[in-house]
């Protein structure tokens, strides 16, 4: 081994994922070195606090609070950015790439906000940016799209991309429990953060969907260009209503492209999925993603999408790719850093081009004629009612009215909801869910 090249790693961030990388890399190091034919060393580790107690033991001499120093250290070949946030992470990432280094990141918010700038810097200065851990944790989804499915164009990619939301929805359905109590239990178990909004309001999934849209289509879609809705207003009654219709409920990220019109849509929202579908049966903290290619057809990937070990697995996979790159030069699987020429010119689909079926739950005054007025509003907005479920409401003098529709579009349903909200007999904001006619 003494005659073999030494590859030095700078680890920026020693939180949950960073500690997982340190732990598992130490366990696997000898095997990785034998496989790759090089000595691989975590040379320095940047942390926010030198005195903080951690579950792993890192020699004090390796620790620093200066992450930029790792990015600029000429002796460090691979910068592993696991800091979280975007401002400091962006500075470290760009500094390293401008020096031609390889950067490995698990930071989906960083990529969503600054991906175009990051990949441009990598191309301009000869650096490389690897990000397998940013989407779906331990599922090798990014490698599948960039390498295994390179011969395909992707009409549709959709899936469960947030384990916290999937756990909450699973528990609500299985235990007939309200959202608030399940959320508190998820926090107690460590599945949800103390500030849960990034997960439950759909933004974490939106960041991941943005990355998948770029991988599949070479287009950066910002969250504000997407439909992004969370799970906070779903109730146990919605699961019962969905079950009576033959559906379960999942929070999905959905990326579609119409290759005839060259229009792309990216959406994040709770979706009714047929109970017999593969994704409807994925429970707990697991992720599941369906990828439809024009050559291979549909492939499905299921596994742990978050957590220390799953994410560390993906980070270490990227580290091994980075070592192979440094030792042997650029391989075909790094060509995903280039913008696919065929993707230039693709545009976002307008709301009237995003079509589907809908589930609308209304809390209305329990008196004659209300359903007729609701149906009139729906018809005025070119929405045809497919089924009606009426149940008592917890609000005195009210009823719960659940409508499903035939196919319509986002513009029409939004106009209908605005009119329904203005109706005096509607007691609270309607709940809108999409019905997922997604499986081939």
Candidates 56, 50, 43; CA nearest to 16 is 56
pLDDT at residue 78, rounded to an integer? 98
User: How many angstroms separate the first and last alpha carbons of the chain?
Assistant: 52
Phi, psi of 306 (to 5 degrees): -155, 180
Q: Exposed, middle or buried by CB within 10 Å (0-12, 13-18, 19+), for 269?
A: buried
Average pLDDT over residues 113-119: 95
Q: Is the pLDDT score of 289 beyond 70?
A: yes
- Give me 8's structure tokens: 């030095």
Q: Confidence band (pLDDT; 50, 70, 90) for 337?
A: low
Q: Is the pLDDT score of 206 beyond 90?
A: yes
- Gap between the Cα atoms of 223 and 267, Å rounded: 9
Q: Is the pLDDT score of 297 beyond 60?
A: yes
Q: Is the pLDDT score of 7 beyond 50?
A: yes
Share of the chain above pLDDT 70, in %: 95
Q: What is the set of domains in the chain, with CATH numbers?
A: 6-137+309-341 (3.40.50.720), 141-304 (3.30.360.10), 351-435 (3.30.70.260)
Can you list the pairs that 383-392 forms with residues at least 24 positions away whose Cβ atoms lie under 8 Å?
383/358, 383/408, 383/412, 383/413, 383/416, 384/408, 386/357, 387/245, 389/241, 389/244, 389/245, 391/237, 391/241
Residue 166: which residues within 8 A CB-CB, separation 6 or more? 160, 250, 251, 282, 283, 284, 285, 286, 287
Candidates 252, 188, 263; CA nearest to 225 is 263
State the DSSP code for 426.
Answer: B
Q: Is the pLDDT score of 342 beyond 50?
A: no
CA 99-105-109 angle, 5° bins:
115
Angle between helices 179-189 and 163-175 (to 10 degrees): 130
pLDDT at residue 344, rounded to an integer? 56
Is 57 among the catalytic positions? no
Average pLDDT over residues 83-108: 96
Task: Kindly provide the residue ranges of all beta strands, DSSP E only, lying in 151-236, ordered along the sequence.
Answer: 154-160, 227-228
- Which residue in the list 101, 208, 250, 330 is annotated as catalytic? 208
Predicted confidence (pLDDT) per residue in 214-246, tens digit: 999 989 999 999 999 999 999 999 999 999 999
Predicted confidence (pLDDT) per residue in 381-440, tens digit: 999 999 999 988 888 889 999 999 999 999 999 999 999 999 999 999 999 999 998 764
pLDDT at residue 1, rounded to an integer? 45
- Gap between the Cα atoms of 350 and 363, Å rounded: 30
Candidates 27, 18, 146, 134; CA nearest to 86 is 134
Q: Confidence band (pLDDT; 50, 70, 90) for 2?
A: low
| Pair type for strands 154-160 and 263-274 | unpaired
**Longest distance between any two alpha carbons in the chain, whole Å:** 87
| Pair type for strands 408-409 and 355-365 | antiparallel
Angle between helices 108-125 and 87-98 (to 10 degrees): 20
Predicted confidence (pLDDT) per residue in 274-284, tens digit: 999 999 999 99
Q: Exposed, middle or buried by CB within 10 Å (0-12, 13-18, 19+), for 117?
A: middle
Candidates 415, 353, 321; CA nearest to 78 is 321
């Amino acid at each position: 081994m003494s005659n073999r090249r030494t590859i030095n790693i700078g680890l920026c961030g020693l939180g949950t994922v960073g500690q997982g990388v340190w732990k598992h890399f130490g366990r696997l190091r000898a095997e990785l070195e034998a496989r790759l034919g090089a000595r691989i060393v975590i040379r320095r580790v940047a942390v926010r606090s030198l005195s903080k107690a951690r579950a792993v033991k890192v020699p004090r001499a390796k620790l620093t609070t200066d992450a930029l120093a790792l990015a600029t250290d000429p002796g460090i070949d691979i910068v592993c950015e696991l800091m979280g946030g975007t401002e400091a992470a962006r500075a470290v990432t760009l500094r390293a790439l401008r020096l031609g280094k390889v950067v490995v990141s698990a930071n989906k918010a960083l990529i969503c906000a600054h991906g175009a700038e990051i990949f441009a810097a990598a191309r301009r200065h000869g650096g490389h940016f690897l990000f397998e851990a940013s989407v779906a944790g331990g599922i090798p989804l990014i490698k599948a799209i960039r390498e295994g499915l390179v011969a395909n164009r992707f009409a549709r990619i959709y899936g469960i991309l947030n384990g916290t939301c999937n756990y909450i929805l699973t528990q609500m359905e299985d235990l007939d429990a309200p959202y608030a109590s399940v959320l508190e239990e998820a926090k107690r178990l460590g599945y949800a953060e103390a500030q849960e909004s990034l997960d439950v309001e759909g933004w974490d999934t939106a960041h991941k969907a943005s990355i998948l849209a770029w991988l599949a289509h070479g287009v950066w879609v910002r969250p504000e260009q997407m439909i992004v809705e969370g799970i906070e207003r779903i109730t146990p009654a919605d699961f019962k209503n969905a079950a009576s219709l033959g559906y379960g409920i999942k929070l999905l990220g959905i990326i579609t492209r119409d290759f005839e019109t060259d229009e792309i849509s990216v959406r994040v929202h709770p979706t009714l999925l047929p109970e017999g579908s593969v994704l409807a049966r994925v429970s707990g903290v697991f992720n599941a993603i369906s990828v439809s290619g024009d050559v291979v057809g549909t492939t499905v990937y299921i596994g742990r999408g978050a957590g220390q070990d799953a994410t560390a697995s993906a980070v270490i996979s990227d580290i091994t790719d980075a070592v192979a790159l440094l030792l042997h030069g650029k391989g075909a699987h790094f060509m995903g850093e280039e913008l696919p020429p065929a993707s230039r010119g693709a545009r976002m689909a307008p709301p009237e081009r995003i079509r589907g079926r809908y589930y609308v739950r209304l809390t209305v005054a329990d008196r004659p004629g209300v359903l007729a007025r609701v149906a009139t509003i729906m018809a005025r907005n070119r929405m045809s009612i497919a089924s009606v479920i009426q149940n008592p409401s917890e609000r005195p003098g009210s009823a719960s009215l659940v409508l499903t529709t035939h196919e319509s579009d986002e513009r029409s349903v939004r106009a209908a909801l605005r009119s329904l909200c203005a109706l005096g007999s509607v007691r609270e904001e309607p709940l809108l869910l999409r019905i997922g006619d997604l499986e081939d």
